[in-house]
Amino acid sequence: MPAAQRKGGDGSRREFADLANWNLASLTELFASDPPALGDVDVAIEGDVLRVTLKEKGHLDVFVVAGGDQILASVMLAPAESVPERGAFERLALKTHKLVPLSTFGISTVNGEEWYELFGSLSARSAAEIVVEEIAVLASNAEDAANLIQEWRNGEIAA
């Protein structure tokens, strides 16, 4: 499998070598290279978490953590409290999550508040192209999930 390419400061193309395991530093370098599948990207390290902001996806934030044998990527969708009839919505999310490839619905607590999230995980030994693809698919799925939440709020989807 070919290594992912990045543009060097001099305009030349360089390749990411396959690494034993991805870590925060190597993931930062990968995403800071603005992989074509993600478009223009900002990256910021926040503690042990990498915030990958996809500018061309409405500044969508994807939070990435690498540890041990896996990489976990997550998008916070909406505060759970903002979704009416939470129980019915959660049942809908569980029933339809198979339609969301490579991503899973979840609930996380952020600053004491529950949030709906979409997340995916992959091996920390994955090739660069696979890591980028996972983030691209997660971002696309997050857009769909955000639309689902909005349609639910608007009463366009029945329980």
pLDDT, tens digit (0-9, with 9 covering 90-100), for 29-61? 999 999 999 999 999 999 999 999 999 999 999
Q: Domain ranges for the chain, please list them.
A: 5-153
| DSSP-assigned beta bridge partners for residue 64 | 50, 73
Per-residue model confidence as pLDDT tens digits over 97-126: 777 878 999 999 999 999 999 999 999 999
pTM confidence score: 0.84
d(CA 156, CA 88): 14
- Locate 115 and state its tokens: 């949030």
> Does residue 20 carry a pLDDT above 90?
no
- Strand pairing of 70-79 and 13-15? unpaired
Q: Which CATH architecture has domain 5-153?
A: 2-Layer Sandwich (3.30)
